[in-house]
Structure 1
Amino acid sequence: MEMPSVSNSGSNVTAVNTNCMDVTVTDSVFYDRTDKIIITVIMPTILIIGLMGNVTFLVVVTLVQRMRTITNLYLQSLAVSDIIFLIVAIGEKLWRYLSSPYVDDQSMMGQIGCIVVYFITDMTFYSSVFLVTLAAVERFYAICRPLKHRMKIGAKERTIRLIASAWVLAFCLSMLVSPSNWGNKSYCLWWISNGTNSPSSSESFPSENDPYYHNGRMFQCTGITPWYVSFGACVQTLPFFTAFIANCTLYYNIIHSLNRRVGTADRQRPNTKNLRIRNQVARMLIVNGLVFFICLAPFEILSLVVTSETITNIVVLTQEQYNMWGEFARLMLYVNSAVNPIVYNLMSKRYRQAYCDALKCHVRRKLFRTNSEDSGSKKNGRNTLTVTHQLHNLLTTAT
């Protein structure tokens, strides 16, 4: 997933010819202090937390037998998608930072890298949307249509087929939007001091003795045609907003069903425990859905804004506003892929207990191996002493 390009009409960039552009020293071509903090501190932190959380979740579900549920099959696949996204998306940003001093330079990726990197991030994005929606559908049938859930929806084989279908559909949609990154632009950059002549004149190019002189080249991924970039942004946002509406409808019906069920139980046998159970389940359903869509919403809204600017030629955001919103939206994408295991543990005692059980199981196995080794050593030691004592008796008798 790459942010759509935006017009630079408010900047000091002026095209000189098809391959070169003139940039004054005031332009934000280099990484500023904020960029460096985000890339060198915040992004690696999110990457580490996300990898540790998602990998631990996969291990816990594998070790604890009661956690091998239909819902957790969807969440396991979602964790795999998040791991891939974090490695590729944040890894690409770190690689870009280490390879070039220019913010938007993607020359280290090349043409093949532009295609592969954004194809993978697009595919993991689509798969996450589909998997979250499938998990919501499974919860809906489990609570609102329990008989049908037991007969059809809750079957493990059916769940595996649905997960595979989600990944296949994500692959197809990624192929559809992939031409948005098949093109490229190459620029040669010149830095000149403020107050120089018009860049349209050849006299505006600084000499090598100019203290502001510097030249370089910058490579950027782009679409095969300008309209395909807008098309790709539309294809990207459509599944998101469709899934958002579908999930809101499903969660509303789930909560309504829980309220009605617990209310009936309360009338038959008043018990405050039922109220606590209802509130806990409702909070978990709401939080799981809202965290996902809130984290992705800034990026999707920005994509729509930039697409509308391209189509209507009406500038809504300045370059500075676009850069600030873009950084925030990108970080929220990364946070979304890292925060899911934290949400599970905060909102569900069942998951917290599973983590504790998995850890205890590992500790018990380790202690068992240690005790077994110690017992074997002591037993061997006793055997050795016995043999030595017998030999001593024989030697004494012989003498």
Structure 2
Amino acid sequence: FNGCLKSSFNEGGLQPFFATISVFLVLVICGVGIVGNIMVVLVVLITREMKTPTNCYLVSLAVADLMVLVAAGLPNISDSLAGTWIYGHAGCLGITYFQYLGINVSSCSITAFTVERYIAVCHPMRAHTMCTVSRAKRIIAFVWSCTSIYCTLWFFLVDINVNKSQHLECGYKVSRNLYLPIYLLDFALFFVTPLFVATMLYGLIGRILFASPIPDQADATAEPWRERSGKEKNGVDTRGSLPTMSPLQVIKMLAVVVILFALLWMPYRTLVLVNSFMDNPFLNPWFILFCRLCVYANSAINPVVYNLMSQKFRAAFKRLCKCGGEPTPHSLSSFLRTPAVAEGESPSVVSSRGSSTQLSTDDIQPREWQAIARSLQYI
């Protein structure tokens, strides 16, 4: 958010009104996002049943989104109020570093999550060894390590400058033309590539889900498992408590992830890329505010999506907030009593623990569709 997103006001009367609108909107979005992402991290850490490979990637995404909101959103508020940079040279370097670290890790986490979903749905037999909690943790550690090293470039690219109004700002250290290769690389690695991978893999997932009538068959074969699991573990019959998602519902949910990522990041990425080629960059303050708000909204909206589209997350959020009252057998058995994925297991293995017949790689039967349907409940 440095250099390319610095705006100026030609009319002095515009700044107070703009600052008021900017501070209010950023406060609302960042407040909702910070609280929501903290809740995502907490429910996964404190709830044993939520510790799945998929949720590990969601925690990584939540931490990255928190970093974006804190390092990019909150300093933007002080900029609007003070009209000058108040964090000094060290703050300029550190805040810029954490901004881009959060942005880039969030893109990588989405890619990792997408690949994990593709393996779980399209190759459920391989998920036994590839979709595990320990493997997810190693991948997340690798992503954070590599991205942390990559983002150290920004320590050498930004500095404190004095603008035309004689105010301090955190911006470019050298000529803007030298930043073009970096912005092009960022655009390719952390926007085009994740979007391309997500589009391709979710398309393959959709083809698999539409190729067979999953809901009816999966629901029929899942009933005995639900009955045994409910009676053995809780003494409660939980049949019918886990709703089966239709192929259309699954496609809609997966499409939301891709569409939100593409739409909310497009204005910022496009502005950065276009301004890198222009001698006189486009610095309309209202459009720059719009780009910033889109980025903040992308980091803030993910917990809302989880709450709307995942019953397990919704139940966990309610329990964390103490809004759901005392846990009932149906509420917790339905949403939070689903067996966790243990080390070396995949969602498909968990769903077939009660079965006496093991799947073969050549047996594409309703039982395998049950594994796919069960794996979707970890989203």
The structural deviation recorded for 1:245 is 0.6
Residue number in structure 1 paired with 2:157: 180
After superposition, the C-alpha distances for 1:265-321 in whole angstroms (9 at most, x for unaligned) are 67998xxx99952222222111122212221111001111111224xxxx6x7543x
Of residues 106, 117, 124, the one that matches 2:95 is: 117
With over 3 angstroms needed to count, the CA separation of the structure-2 counterparts of 1:57 and 1:217, relative to structure 1, is: closer
| 2:62 matches 1:79 | yes
After superposition, the C-alpha distances for 1:49-85 in whole angstroms (9 at most, x for unaligned) are 1111111222222333322111000001111111122
Residue number in structure 2 paired with 1:60: 43
Instruction: Give the letter aligned to residue 44 of structure 1.
Output: L
After superposition, where does 1:220-299 map in structure 2 within 5 Å? 220-239=170-189, 240-262=191-213, 276-299=245-268
With over 3 angstroms needed to count, the CA separation of the structure-2 counterparts of 1:115 and 1:228, relative to structure 1, is: farther
| 2:302 matches 1:302 | no
CA distance in 2, matches of 1:300, 1:81: 18
Of residues 53, 61, 82, the one that matches 1:70 is: 53
CA distance in 2, matches of 1:71, 1:57: 12
* 1:123–1:174 Cα contact (<8 Å) kept: yes
CA distance in 1, matches of 2:251, 2:213: 12
CA distance in 1, matches of 2:45, 2:294: 29
Residue number in structure 2 paired with 1:377: none
The structural deviation recorded for 1:263 is 6.1
After superposition, the C-alpha distances for 1:211-239 in whole angstroms (9 at most, x for unaligned) are xxxxx544452133333322332222111
Residue number in structure 2 paired with 1:325: 287
CA distance in 1, matches of 2:124, 2:156: 44
| 2:13 matches 1:51 | no
* 2:215–2:246 Cα contact (<8 Å) kept: no
TM-score, with structure 1 as normaliser:
0.68
CA distance in 1, matches of 2:94, 2:303: 28
Query: RMSD between aligned alpha carbons?
Result: 3.1
The structural deviation recorded for 1:28 is 4.1
CA distance in 1, matches of 2:13, 2:197: 42
CA distance in 1, matches of 2:179, 2:12: 23
After superposition, where does 1:328-367 map in structure 2 within 5 Å? 328-359=290-321, 364=326
With over 3 angstroms needed to count, the CA separation of the structure-2 counterparts of 1:364 and 1:36, relative to structure 1, is: same
The structural deviation recorded for 1:148 is 1.1
With over 3 angstroms needed to count, the CA separation of the structure-2 counterparts of 1:30 and 1:168, relative to structure 1, is: farther
Percent sequence identity over aligned pairs: 24
SS in 2 for 1:140: helix
TM-score, with structure 2 as normaliser:
0.72
Instruction: Give the letter aligned to residue 90 of structure 2.
Output: I
After superposition, where does 1:104-183 map in structure 2 within 5 Å? 105-106=84-85, 108-151=86-129, 153-181=130-158, 183=159
With over 3 angstroms needed to count, the CA separation of the structure-2 counterparts of 1:98 and 1:342, relative to structure 1, is: same
SS in 2 for 1:147: coil
Instruction: Give the letter aligned to residue 75 of structure 1.
Output: L
Matched positions, count: 305
SS in 2 for 1:45: helix
Instruction: Give the letter aligned to residue 352 of structure 1.
Output: R
After superposition, the C-alpha distances for 1:115-150 in whole angstroms (9 at most, x for unaligned) are 111111000111000000000000000000111111
CA distance in 1, matches of 2:265, 2:218: 41
Extract unaligned runs of 5+ from structure 1: 12-25, 190-215, 366-399
The structural deviation recorded for 1:326 is 1.6
* 2:119–2:127 Cα contact (<8 Å) kept: yes
Extract unaligned runs of 5+ from structure 2: 221-241, 328-379
With over 3 angstroms needed to count, the CA separation of the structure-2 counterparts of 1:251 and 1:115, relative to structure 1, is: same
SS in 2 for 1:261: coil
SS in 1 for 2:10: coil
